[in-house]
Amino acid sequence: MVNAIFALGCATLVLVVVLLHWRERRLSNPRNLPLPPGPKPEPIIGNVRQIPEESWLKFTEWKDVYGDIVYLNTLGTRIVILNSYKTCTDLLEKAIYSDRPRFYTMDTLMNLGQITSLAPYGPALRQHQELLRSALHQKAIEQYQPMQIDRVKWYLSTLVMEPDNFLSNLHLLMGRIVVHAAYGAEVQSVEDTYITWSKAVIEGVTIGMEPSNMIYNIFPFFLHIPGTRGGKLKILGAEVRKIADKMFNIPFDAVKASMDAGAASPSVVATVLKSGKYAEEVAKWATGTLYLAGTNTTYGTVIAALFAMIKYPDVQRKAQAEIDRVVGEGRLPTFADRPALPYIDCLIKETLRWRPLIPACLGVPRSLLEDDYYEGYWIPKGTMVMPNVWSTLYEDPERFWPERFEGGKGLDPRLWAFGFGRRICPGLYFSNAMAFIILASILATFNLSKPIDDDAVSLETDALIRSLDPFKCTIKPRSASAAALVESR
């Protein structure tokens, strides 16, 4: 009898749960449309085990099976993958797709929830965006050109003096340019705290956002079990929090102090503070994001282009021939040469296409603010939305072939590599300008080739920003006059 009552109770409970679930779906899905298609989930864990590390490759395979919009569920988190340029622009340009998901590891553990790229959609974010767009729009960045040219000349001289350190010096170059633009400060070496802080915070963010660590965002209590993977992440999170605190506060406070002393160098922070338009917290976090996002991203694009120059020497020779024709000997390229160097522009586009830095927006997904309906499917409020730009189709995709963009042909990768709509990357022009002047200057003066003892093989790594692993390269001045030009600094 007791057993029968217990069984009846359980059955009623199950029925109530099913009815509530059905009612909830009907209420928030009045058109009663299906969710988008996707791989069959496993009980409780959903699709967790079907998402590999290089998730964008799997997402692209699913395009053939399920189409341009794929639905996944990982431990109750709803995810939609957008597998074409059209679905990305159709959806991500709408305001309701402009939020970011909340991550416990980022918000609470590392206290990074206020950086622009992770901030929730709302009035504070709009202030961040206004600040960054006014500091980094096409006209505004012209003021940084003389400083960029000076720092690039320094980099070229390091290619003669210590060619084996071409990657670490390139990272330093990015840091020198970005830190000077943001804070008017000088970075002297790779050991400088400006460089080590941003590196440590990016590494922390990458680990915190790793798909295998998503479990801690859903069930943060696992972080409190000492000796486990979660326990170790908690310790790392606390360290990153301390470094981020220094990184966002110390350079900002230094500019304030030098402004008070009437001795501040020109910088984004000084301009913003002088304008009095933004709350101090907005100014601090937005300019800190510029510093954090600016260094590691363009670095990834430039090293991918250098790697391509080794693998595709014909492309290198063609790019150099164009520079020689336009710039000639005896001087370095300038920003004014850019319109006359269309092949270099194609080379940068091809790099963004060939090795996109953020192939599936893993580190910067969107979150849907309201229920939406698209192409006959229901996309529920709160769904995490990931544009899988890797799936943007081009002919012969593995080949590095800048000619595919000649004469304005092909879909310009800058239309998707930097995101979409209201959350599009504000560093787009700044990054393109940096990539142009660095690559044009290197190609004008140096030949890059595969080292004799190395196959120049490099693997792509990183969950957040996908960058090449370090590789070796033989770098030699193209001629005696190129060497003299570089040394004349």
- Please give the residue ranges that form the binding site for ligand HEM (CB under 6 A): 116-117, 129, 132, 136, 289-290, 293-294, 297-298, 301, 357-358, 361, 364, 417-420, 423-427, 430-431
Backbone phi and psi for residue 378, each to the nearest 5 degrees, phi listed first? -100, 130
Whichever of 148 and 298 has its CB closer to ligand HEM, that residue is 298
Looking up tokens 């299906």, which residue turns up?
A: 34
To ligand HEM, the closest distance from the beta carbon of 66 in angstroms equals 23
Residue 414 C-beta: closest distance to ligand HEM, Å: 9
Q: By C-beta, is 99 or 210 nearer to ligand HEM? A: 99
Q: How far is the CB of 426 from ligand HEM (least distance, A)?
A: 5
Q: Cβ of residue 11: shortest distance to ligand HEM, in angstroms?
A: 46
Closest separation in Å from C-beta 205 to ligand HEM: 13
Residue 178 vs 327, nearer CB to ligand HEM: 178
Q: Please choose, from the candidates 279, 253, 296, the residue with its C-alpha nearest in 3D space to the C-alpha of residue 114.
A: 279
Determine the Cα–Cα distance for residues 234 and 281; give it in Å rounded to an integer. Answer: 26
CB atoms within 10 A of CB 325: 11
Calpha distance 167→255 (Å, rounded) = 30
- CB nearer ligand HEM, residue 141 or residue 475: 141
List 474's β-bridge partners, or say none: 449
Q: Which is nearer to ligand HEM, 464 or 482 (CB)?
A: 464
If phi > 0 it is left, if psi is from -120 to 50 it is alpha, else beta; for residue 162 that is beta
88 is in an annotated binding site: no
- Based on CB atoms, which residue is closest to ligand HEM, 286 or 475? 286
Long-range CB contacts (within 8 A, 24+) of 398-405? 400/308, 400/311, 400/312, 400/315, 400/350, 400/351, 400/354, 401/315, 401/350, 402/315, 402/319, 402/343, 402/346, 402/347, 402/349, 402/350, 403/346, 404/346, 404/350, 405/345, 405/346, 405/349, 405/350
Which residue, 174 or 327, has its beta carbon nearer to ligand HEM? 174
231, 223 contact by CB (below 8 A): yes
Q: Closer to ligand HEM by CB, 36 or 359: give it.
A: 359
Minimum Å gap between C-beta 85 and ligand HEM is 13
| 205 contacts: CB under 8 Å, gap ≥ 6 | 106, 110, 112, 240, 363, 464
* Closest to ligand HEM by CB, 309 or 417: 417
- Please provide residue 310's backbone torsions phi and psi, each rounded to the nearest 5 degrees: -75, -40
Token output for 253: 């406070």
Nearer to ligand HEM, 332 or 435 (CB): 435
Sequence ranges of the binding site for heme? 425
Sequence ranges of the binding site? 425
